[in-house]
A = this chain, B = another copy of it.
Amino acid sequence: MAKKKVKDNPSSGKAKSTKIEPTQQIGVVGSGSFATAIVKMLTENCKTVHWCVRNEFVKGAIELRGHNPTYLTSVSFNTKKLHLTTDINELVAACDFIVLATPSIYLASALEGLSCDYKNKVFISAIKGIVPEYNDVVAHYLKDKFDIGFRNQAVIAGPCHAEEVAMERLSYLTIATVEEAVSEQLDTFFTSSFIKVNHSTDILGNEYSAILKNIYAIGAGIASGLGYGDNFTAVFVSNAIREMETFLEGVYEAPRDVNESAYLGDLLVTAYSLFSRNRNLGNLIGKGYTVKSAIQSMNMVAEGYYAAASIYETAKQKKMETPIIDAVYAILYQEKNAEKQFKKLTAKLT
């Protein structure tokens, strides 16, 4: 069983003055909606949050207006708490902890030119996708390309739609680390009146499950678009969590309970919520849009689309039985008819 506990919200029922402010420096790389949500979480606890955004326009807009010009625009920041930059080296040099929160397809370019000393720093991935240039998960990419060992890594998992963080609706994060001390420190950065933190040691399991759930959410969306109902969706998701367990055991054996929030909870919020862009992508395809036109009609990246190819390959290499991944892959990449694929899939589900 993964180590697991929840810290009480330090601000609830206590005077604000008893709250311990983190003494170390933390920064966020990325300017999409989840990056913006993480900066919001961190400003609850930190005097300064370092934030490396994509370009000078975004930096200037946030500094001028106190909110991200494109994503989670409803979140107002106290700009005095923000140290904005577009220079990855400036951010990394200033921080002890660096949260990577770009879409996976932009991670390599965001870290391009990283040349400062980052040996003793901790990199926390909030990315839920495959790094396309390396066809691998972020944990492996950081290890292989930057020699950042697992002791200097962490993963933040949901269930946590950025939109609900913006509304300060209670959400639970799971932080996966191999070092207990790192875990404790990260807790002080994130726990707040609307964020509770679980702990896990299953870095790779949390990372893969966050990727898989996007593929399953596309599937749930396709089913919905095709006209399948709630009864079927429930069967679909119950098969998906079992398939996820098979996959995780196949890529990285560890004592884990896939019914914990970081695995099942994250799958549920993505497969059921109308905030889910992956589900929405699937829904458009189920309704008859071509894959290309469905992707083009969305303003945001649906990570599951990019992940499906790599995850499918891994499943085939390891000879896993993954009928849902296979069906979604066939629809997304082999121009197979969604209705026929799902008709076939229904005979394989139980």
Contact = CB atoms under 8 A, between A and B. Distances in A.
Given A259-B241, A259-B258, A231 B172 contact: yes
Question: Chain B CB within 10 Å — which of A228, A265, A346 has the most?
Answer: A265
B198 A158 contact: no
Contacts of A234: 158-159, 261, 264-266, 268-269, 272-273
Contacts of A227: 169
A245 to B, nearest CB: 7
A161 B231 contact: yes
Interface in A154-188: 158-161, 164-165, 167, 169-172
Contacts of A239: 261
A266 B165 CA distance: 29
B350 A237 contact: no
Q: Say how many copies of this protein the assembly contains.
A: 2
B238 A268 contact: yes
Interface stretch (A1-9, A54-62, A74-82, A128-136): A1-9
A20 interface: no
A105 to B, nearest CB: 25
Interface in A171-227: 171-172, 196, 198, 227
Contact of A231 (B164, B259, B260): B164
Interface residues of A, number: 51
A5 B350 contact: yes
A335 interface: no
A118 interface: no
A159 to B, nearest CB: 4
Nearest to A244: B259
B258 A237 contact: no
A349 interface: yes
Contacts of A8: 347
A160 B5 CA distance: 35
A320 interface: no
A257 interface: yes
Contact of A169 (B4, B229, B272): B229
A232 interface: yes
A164 B235 contact: no
A242 interface: yes
A275 interface: yes
A40 to B, nearest CB: 14
B245 A259 contact: yes
A155 B43 CA distance: 53
B232 A170 contact: yes
A230 interface: yes
Contacts of A9: 347
A294 to B, nearest CB: 22
Given A230-B269, A234-B264, 17 more contacts: A6-B347, A9-B347, A159-B235, A161-B231, A169-B227, A169-B229, A170-B228, A170-B346, A171-B229, A171-B232, A231-B269, A238-B259, A238-B261, A239-B261, A242-B257, A245-B259, A261-B350
Which 7 residue pairs spanning A and B have beta carbons closest together?
Answer: A169-B229, A234-B269, A238-B265, A159-B234, A171-B231, A234-B268, A234-B265
